[in-house]
């Protein structure tokens, strides 16, 4: 039998590795190699929702965060959402990521995880995360665009892995982007150069909505749903 979408995603995650030099003070976060529990957990998720050969539309975030994909291996899915509503067993430390809260409210409004993941695959421009330590030595999330040096250091890696993800079985007429600032600008420039997608639709980042626009959350959920409805026309 040919490999399923899940098989391809799991193989992609298993192969992820970055060994090139990074700017001083910045570290790579590869959950699939830094925590032995994450590959089995994420694989169970993908086998549950992606064990088929359907094509899907891509949603691109920025890069994994420490309390979402950094712990589960699944973009925008923290451990609370992994257990409920996804129903995937997890016995480690519970994590709460505001972005995950919003995304799963959108997923519920869309019809639930089965309906949503049947239509969409979420990942990031850079599928591995980055961290930096502050003056007190506390580790913090770092975005690929937070310094020109980091963007340059990981540019080729990002392009290569975007090509690999498109080969999983993704539609290219429409791509969605979480982030209407620097992430959108970077992806649009990338698309102008490589013509990966026919149309790029940018939506405000879930973290931005939860942090600054929480009182208008339902309006943003409606905006997401309206944008996602374009694939069903």
Percent above pLDDT 70 for the chain: 100
Residue 29 has pLDDT above 60, yes or no: yes
Average pLDDT over residues 101-122: 98
Q: Which domains does the chain have, with CATH numbers?
A: 5-15+25-232 (3.40.470.10)
- Segment 186-197 shows an average pLDDT of 97
CB 44 within 8 A of CB 35: no
Mean of all residue pLDDT scores within the chain: 94
For the segment 56-78, what is each residue's pLDDT rounded down to a tens digit?
999 999 988 777 788 899 999 99
* Contacting residues for 78 by C-beta, under 8 A, at least 6 apart: 67, 68, 71, 72, 95, 96, 97, 100, 101
* DSSP secondary structure of 47-89: HHHH-S---EEEEEESS--TTTHHHHSSTT--HHHHHTTT---
Among the residues of 128-176, which ranges form H helices? Answer: 148-166
- In the predicted model, is pLDDT for residue 107 greater than 70? yes
Task: Give the residue, 64 or 103, on which the prediction is more confident.
Answer: 103
Q: Is the pLDDT of residue 233 over 60?
A: no
Q: Measuring CA to CA, how many Å separate 184 from each of 7, 44, 50?
A: 29, 31, 27
pLDDT band at 221 (very low <50, low <70, confident <90, very high): very high
pTM of the complete model: 0.94
Instruction: Encode pLDDT of 132-184 as tens digits.
Output: 987 777 888 899 999 999 999 999 999 999 999 999 999 999 999 999 999 99
Q: How confident is the model at residue 133, as a pLDDT?
A: 83
Question: Residue 134: helix, strand or coil by DSSP?
Answer: coil
């Amino acid at each position: 039998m040919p490999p399923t979408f899940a098989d391809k995603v799991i193989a992609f995650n298993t192969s992820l590795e970055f060994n090139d030099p990074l700017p001083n003070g910045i570290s790579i976060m590869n959950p699939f190699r830094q925590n032995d529990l994450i590959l089995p957990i994420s694989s169970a998720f993908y086998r549950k929702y992606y064990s088929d050969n359907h094509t899907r539309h891509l949603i691109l975030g920025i890069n994994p965060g420490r309390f979402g994909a950094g712990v589960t291996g699944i973009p925008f899915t923290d451990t609370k959402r992994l257990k409920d509503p996804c129903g995937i067993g997890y016995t480690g430390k519970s994590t709460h990521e505001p972005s995950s809260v919003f995304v799963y409210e959108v997923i519920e409004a869309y019809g639930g995880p089965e309906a949503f993941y049947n239509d969409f695959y979420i990942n990031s421009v850079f599928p591995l995360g980055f961290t930096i330590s502050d003056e007190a030595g506390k580790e913090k999330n770092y975005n690929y665009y937070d310094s020109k040096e980091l963007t340059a250091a990981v540019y080729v890696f990002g392009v290569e892995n975007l090509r690999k993800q498109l080969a999983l079985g993704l539609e290219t007429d429409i791509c969605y982007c979480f982030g209407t600032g620097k992430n959108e600008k970077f992806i649009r420039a990338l698309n102008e150069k490589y013509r990966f997608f026919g149309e790029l639709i940018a939506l405000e980042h879930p973290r931005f909505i939860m942090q600054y626009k929480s009182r208008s959350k339902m309006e943003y959920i409606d905006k997401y749903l309206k944008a996602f409805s374009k694939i069903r026309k």
